[in-house]
Amino acid sequence: MGQTDTLYGWDDQKRVDYFVTRGELLIPKRYEQLSSLIDFFPWPTDQPIRVLDLGAGYGAVTETILERYPQASVVWLDGSPAMHGHAEPRLARYGQQVCMFLRDLADPAWSAELPGPFHAAVSAIALHHLTDQRKRALCAEVYELLLPGGMFLNNDVVSGAPDMREHFTPLSDRVIRHHLRERTGVEHSLEEIRQARTAMQRPKGQSSHIAPLEPQLEWWREAGFQMVDCYWKFLNFAIFGGMNGAG
């Protein structure tokens, strides 16, 4: 399988570097989303669970999992060598608890020879880059990689009513500014936040594949997941998923 990333131009080192260093200016309640994603795990934190992190990027989700579950092992999977360059040193202290795979989720063969099965699969702000057809197929592919009772949780941006977009953007900017001030003590201007969003606009010729929430919940159900629901939502960001009920 080729080790290239076809999603959103993440082979661009400058774009990746910018996102890693300035991404907190782009996503409202970013740290709450990361923490909440792991909050929904049903296992005691001393359990040696195995987790698959899809579109794992620079390693923020993998790191959060291992901080919360010190005995866990995580498969980091992403299609971007540039992201891998950031994730590898960040996660090095975890040694063999982290196994890294350069795979493109747009390729249906992405899961070949992964060391599963897994208690959980997670993804954060990544799968919206896939076409709806691939997102739908991915649900079934992930289902087959999970242990009975395993969970697939997706933290992602979802589309909403078109007339709400103009309202969401300035509100999101204000929330980002407020939470960064509380978390870091640094006062960012709204203009700085707007500039960060502009800098991360899609490269020319790349289409958006952001999907509404409800069809995605149905794709999870079609794949066989049970207890499918949206567990957290703020503006156009959501955490949703379900459980493998086999067995």
CATH code where residue 41 lies? 3.40.50.150
2: in domain: no
Domain span holding position 232? 13-244
Is 3 among the domain residues? no
Q: What is the model's pTM? A: 0.85
8 belongs to a structural domain: no
Q: Return the pLDDT at 183.
A: 72
Does 146 reside within a domain? yes
Q: Please check whether residue 6 lies inside any domain of the structure.
A: no
In a domain, 58, yes or no: yes
Q: What is the pLDDT of residues 13-38, one digit of tens each?
A: 667 666 666 667 677 888 889 999 99
Which pLDDT band holds residue 5 (cuts at 50, 70, 90)? very low
**Dihedral-angle region of residue 244 (phi above 0 means left; psi in -120 to 50 means alpha; beta otherwise):** beta
- What is the Cα Rg of the chain in Å? 17
What string of DSSP letters covers 32-101?
Answer: HHHHHHHHT--S-TTS--EEEEET-TTSHHHHHHHHH-TT-EEEEEES-HHHHHHHHHHHGGGGGGEEEE
7 within some domain: no
Indicate the number of domains in the chain.
Answer: 1
Rounded average pLDDT over 212-219: 97
Establish if 4 belongs to a structural domain. no
State the pLDDT at residue 178.
73
C-beta separation of 157 from 213 below 8 A: no
- State the pLDDT confidence band at 182, using cuts at 50, 70 and 90: confident
